[in-house]
Structures are given as structure tokens and as C-alpha cells.
Amino acid sequence: MTSPLIVSIGFGAMARSLAASLEKGGSGLRLGGFLLPEHLPTDAPAGMRRWNSVDDLIAARPDLVIECATHAAVRETVPQLLEAGIDVVIVSIGALGDAGTVARIEAAAKTGRARAIAVSGAIGGLDVLRSAKLAGLDSVAYIGRKPPTAWKGTPAERLLDLPNLKEATVFYEGDAVEAARDYPKNTNVTAAVALAGLGFKGTRVRLIADPAASGNTHELEAKGAFGSFHILLNNKPLPENPKTSWLAALSVEQAVLRHFSSLEV
């Protein structure tokens, strides 16, 4: 049997980590190439195939596409792939905070009889949240803490003097609607929590820049008829991108392995 064609959208820190990890993993699965618009540069290894347009990628009939690019890529590319009958793993899931995007993705998946798979990414406990929701949840709260460098290029830059921050500082408190929309490279995890639990409006979010933080920590607390739970993840960032946790890349690899396995655990 020929090995499946697995393609990423984008080839940044996460896709690179996924490619290397799959290669080492021994499953026989590998990243066969990536979709990247012509104007975007890459230093991808030679031999890795590149597609510049969605139409060309669809013509190659990939078995699985993994979006690990941007919210815009989710909006602009994913529906077309699904409509063409191609399953897509979505990593920039903060884009699903927009109801119009979700409706387009659902309609496209139905038309193409394809599946859109939202990854758990850098967070865990979503299985608990999904189960607990069935009996009714009273509250779901998420706290994200990253070093100041990880918040560069976000609205936190206007609110705080990031390079000179001396102590842990909360710069955002609100719901997951704004968090997922305004911090698209940092808080996709709030979308995972929202989708598994109380929705974007019902999820409380607190974001912290902490000069003492060595990695990205994610805290999740939920209360409901089932009881309560609290988890804390201390994630190491990817060397190439301090905003992104290594665990997020591993969760994508796990989604890929699961997709091609006959036993889903």
C-alpha cells in the first residue's frame, strides 16, 4: 500500500516539528509537503513538495491536510478543501470563535462528506470537559501564563512595557470571544476550551505576562453537576516560536496517527 499523502498548510515552527517528529516516529507516515502562497518565504528542506494554490493542492488529492498557519488560512482555505472531500485537521482553532466560519466549515464538510478535526493543541482535560458538559457545567475558567517575549506582537504590547516587566501581570480578563480573536497566535487554547465546554461567551479567560515563567502554562478549572476539576500544564515552547508549546505540535502528530489508525483511544 502506498503511504498516504499528508500535507500541511503553512510551514512554520509547528509544521517543522511535526515533519521531524513523524520522520523519527517509525509509523511510516510522513509530511509530504506544504501549501504556502507564493509570496511567503520558507526555508523548508529541499525535497519537500510545495503547493502555491489550494486548487493545485486539491488536484494532488491529499489524504489529510493539516492547517497550521493562521486564522485567515482557516477561513480562506479550509472550506474549499472540505468541499473537495479532503479531511482537514485544524490547529488555528481560535478562528472557530467566528460563527460564520464555523457555519461555512460545517456546510463544506457536509457537501464534501469530509471531516474537520479541531485539535486539543497545547491544552488537556477536554475529554473531561466534554463529558462533564452533558450533566451541566456551572463555570469554566482558563488562565494562560507566558513569558513577556511570547506576548510580543499582541495587544499586550500596548498595555504593558513587556521588555521591562518586573512581575507577573494580568493584562486581559474577559471571555473567550475576544481572547481567541485578539490573540490569534497565543490563545487558540481558549477556543478548544470553549468548544468543549461552555462556549466562547461562557468561558472566563485571564491572560498573564510573567517574566519568571520559563514556558507556557495553561490552567483550566471547571465546576458543574459532575463535581469539579483543575488542571495545570507546564509546557515547553518550541525553540523556533516561543508563543507555541511543543505539546501543541505533539497533539497534531497524535491527531494524524489517530486518523490513520484502526483503533481510536
Annotated binding residues for NAD(+), written as ranges, equal 122, 188
Select the residue interacting with ligand NAI from 54, 86, 91, 207 (CB under 6 A).
Answer: 91
Alpha-carbon separation of residue 242 from 17, 42, 74, 91, 239 (angstroms): 13, 19, 22, 16, 6
- Complex with ligand OAA: residue 114 or 146, whichever CB lies closer: 146
Minimum CB distance to ligand NAI, residue 18 (Å): 9
187 binds, among ligand OAA, ligand NAI, none (CB under 5 to 8 A by kind): ligand OAA
In the stretch 200-229, what mask flags binding to ligand OAA with x, by CB under 6 A? ----------------x-------------
Q: Is residue 245 involved in binding ligand OAA (CB under 6 A)?
A: yes
How far is it, in rounded angstroms, from Cα 237 to Cα 85? 34
How far is it, in rounded angstroms, from Cα 224 to Cα 193? 15
**Type of residue found at 60:** A
Minimum CB distance to ligand OAA, residue 247 (Å): 7
Minimum CB distance to ligand NAI, residue 15 (Å): 6
Q: Is residue 122 involved in binding ligand NAI (CB under 6 A)?
A: yes
The dihedral sign for the CA sequence 160, 164, 166, 167: positive
Residue 157's contacts (CB-CB under 8 Å, 6 or more residues apart) are: 151
216-224 and 227-235 beta bridge pairing? antiparallel
**Catalytic-role residue among 39, 71, 218, 230:** 218
Residue with cell 487554547: 189
Query: Helix or strand or coil: residue 98?
Result: coil
Q: Is residue 14 involved in binding ligand NAI (CB under 6 A)?
A: yes
Is 218 among the residues known to form the active site?
A: yes
Quick one: which of 185, 181, 187 has its CA closest to 12? 185
156-195 residues in contact with ligand NAI (CB under 6 A) are 184-185, 188-189
Q: Provide the binding-site residues for ligand OAA, judged by CB under 6 A.
A: 121-122, 185-189, 216, 235, 243-245, 248
- By annotation, the residues acting in catalysis are 218
